[in-house]
Structure 1
Amino acid sequence: MKRASLFAGVVLLGALWGLLLPFADRASFTIHMIAHMGVVAGAAPLIAIGLSGTRIDLPARWPWFSPIVASIVELVAVWLWHTPVLRALSESSPLVAALEQATFLAAGLALWLSCLGGLEAGRDGRRMAGAAGLLFTSMHMTLLGALLALSPRALYGDSEVSCLGVPLGPVVDQQAGGVIMLLVGAAVYLAGGVSLLATTLNSGIPRALRRRG
C-alpha cells in the first residue's frame, strides 16, 4: 500500500513537471492551477502516505512538526505565490517557476506528512490537529479560489492564452483556474480533514467499550 502510494505520487509528479509544464503555455493560469493542485492535493498526499513510518517521517523525529504549523506555512506559501508580482516572475523565468513548484511540493508534503505520519504514541491527538489543519487549509483554498473565480478583472496578464489547445481570454483563464482550486483543492483537503476526524472518533469507540466492560 505505502509503496504503491509512493510510486503513484512520484509518477504523478513526473507527469506534471515532465510533461504538462514544459509543453503547455506557461502564461495560462489554468495550466498553473492544474499543476499546483496536482502537486499539493495529488502527489503530496500520495508521497506522504508512502513516507509515513519510514526514516523520512519527519513528525516521528521532530515532535514540534505539527499540522497547525504546517498549515500556516502552506497558507503563506500559497498566497504569496499567487500575488501578481510573483506570478509574473514565475511565468517569465524558468528558475523562478522551478522554485515555485518546489515550494508547493515542500509545503504540501510538510502538511500531509505532519497529518499522516508520526509515532504511534499520541497519534489520536495528531490526527485531531491534522483534521483542524486540513480543514483550515480547505477554507483558505476556498477563499482564494472564490476570489479568483469571481474577480471581474484579470490579475495575471492581459493577453489570450492557450490551455491544452483551447484559447482563453485572461479573465476566463483566471476564473477557470479559480474554479479548479475550488473543486480540487478545497474538496481534497476537506475530505482529508473529515477522514482524519472520523478515524480518530472511530478509534475511540473500542477503548470506551473496554472501559465500560
Structure 2
Amino acid sequence: MTVAADRVNRWVWVGILILALLWLGPLPALSRTAFSAHMLLHLGVVALAAPVLALGLVRSGRRLRTGERFATAAVLIFSLEMLVVWGWHLPALHEAAARQVGIFVLQQLSFVVVGAAVWWLALSVRRRSELVVTLLGFALTLMHMTMLGVLLLLAPRLLYPAELCMGLFGFTELDDQRLGGVLMAAWGGGAYLLGGLVLGWRLISPGRAAEPTE
C-alpha cells in the first residue's frame, strides 16, 4: 500500500467514523422529540461527514468524469440536493421519519448520498467552465439552505407536531424549532459559503483553473 493510498484510506475511515458517531450516538433518538437534534444530525451528515467522504473518493482517483455533460450532471445533483433537503423538512415527511424507523433510515441515507454528491462534484472540478457551474450550484445551495433556516426561525407558530419539538436545553417547542432554523442557516449556509469562497478563489487565481491542453 502506498503512502498516498494510506492517506485516502484515512480520509474514508474518518468519514465513516463521523457517520458512526452521528448515527449510533444519541442524536437519532433525540431527533424524534427535538427538532434542533434533528438539525444537528442532518447538518453533521451533509456538511461534515459528506465532504470528508467525498475527499476520500477524489484522493483515491475517483473523480466525477462527465466531460461535456458536466453541466447537466451538476444541475441534476444540485436540484436533487435541494429537493431532498426541502422535501424531508415538509411537516408530513419530517413527522413520518421521526415516527417510523424505515423512513428515518431512508431519510438519513438520502442526506448522505446527496451531500456527498455535491461535495464530490466540487472536489472533482478541473476546468474553469466546471468551476463556474459548480460555483453557481453552491450559491443556489447557500441560498436555499439559508432561506429554509430563516423560514424556520421566523415562523410565528409551530410547523411540526409539538411532541417533535420538545427541545434539548429546556427550550419551548417554538424556540426549539427556531434553534433548528438558526443551525440550518448558520452551519448549513456557512459550510456552503466556505466551499463557494474556495471555488471562487480557484476561479480568479491565475493558473488554478485553466482549461486542460489535451
Kindly tell me the number of residue pairs found equivalent between the two proteins: 201
- Unpaired runs of 5+ residues, structure 2, are 1-6
1:101 is aligned, of 105, 108, 112, to 108
Alpha-carbon distance in 2 for matches of 1:83, 1:68: 22
1:189 matched to 2:192? The reply is: yes
- Unpaired runs of 5+ residues, structure 1, are 208-213
Q: Which residue of 2 aligns with 1:90?
A: 97
User: Against the structure 1 CA distance between its residues 60 and 206, is the aligned structure 2 distance closer, same or farther, given a 3 Å change threshold?
Assistant: closer
Q: Which residue of 1 aligns with 2:174?
A: 171
The answer to whether the 8 Å contact 1:71/1:137 transfers is yes
User: Against the structure 1 CA distance between its residues 115 and 63, is the aligned structure 2 distance closer, same or farther, given a 3 Å change threshold?
Assistant: farther
The answer to whether the 8 Å contact 1:68/1:130 transfers is no
User: Against the structure 1 CA distance between its residues 130 and 3, is the aligned structure 2 distance closer, same or farther, given a 3 Å change threshold?
Assistant: farther
The answer to whether the 8 Å contact 1:25/1:161 transfers is no
Which has the higher mean CA deviation after the structures are superposed, 104-113 or 195-204?
Answer: 195-204
Deviation, structure 1 residue 138: 0.4
User: Against the structure 1 CA distance between its residues 205 and 148, is the aligned structure 2 distance closer, same or farther, given a 3 Å change threshold?
Assistant: closer
Superposition RMSD in Å: 2.2
1:149 matched to 2:156? The reply is: no
Q: Which residue of 1 aligns with 2:69?
A: 64
The answer to whether the 8 Å contact 1:115/1:129 transfers is no
- Return the TM-score normalized by structure 2: 0.85
Identity of aligned residues (%): 32
Structure 2 SS opposite 1:167:
coil
Q: Which residue of 2 aligns with 1:7?
A: 13
- Return the TM-score normalized by structure 1: 0.85
| Poorly superposed stretches of 4+, deviation over 6 Å | none
Alpha-carbon distance in 2 for matches of 1:92, 1:206: 47
Deviation, structure 1 residue 194: 1.3
Structure 1 SS opposite 2:65:
helix
Deviation, structure 1 residue 173: 0.9
The answer to whether the 8 Å contact 2:77/2:114 transfers is yes
Structure 1 SS opposite 2:170:
strand
Q: Which residue of 2 aligns with 1:210?
A: none
Aligned 1:108-147 pairs, distance under 5 A: 108-117=115-124, 120=126, 123-147=127-151
Deviation, structure 1 residue 168: 2.7
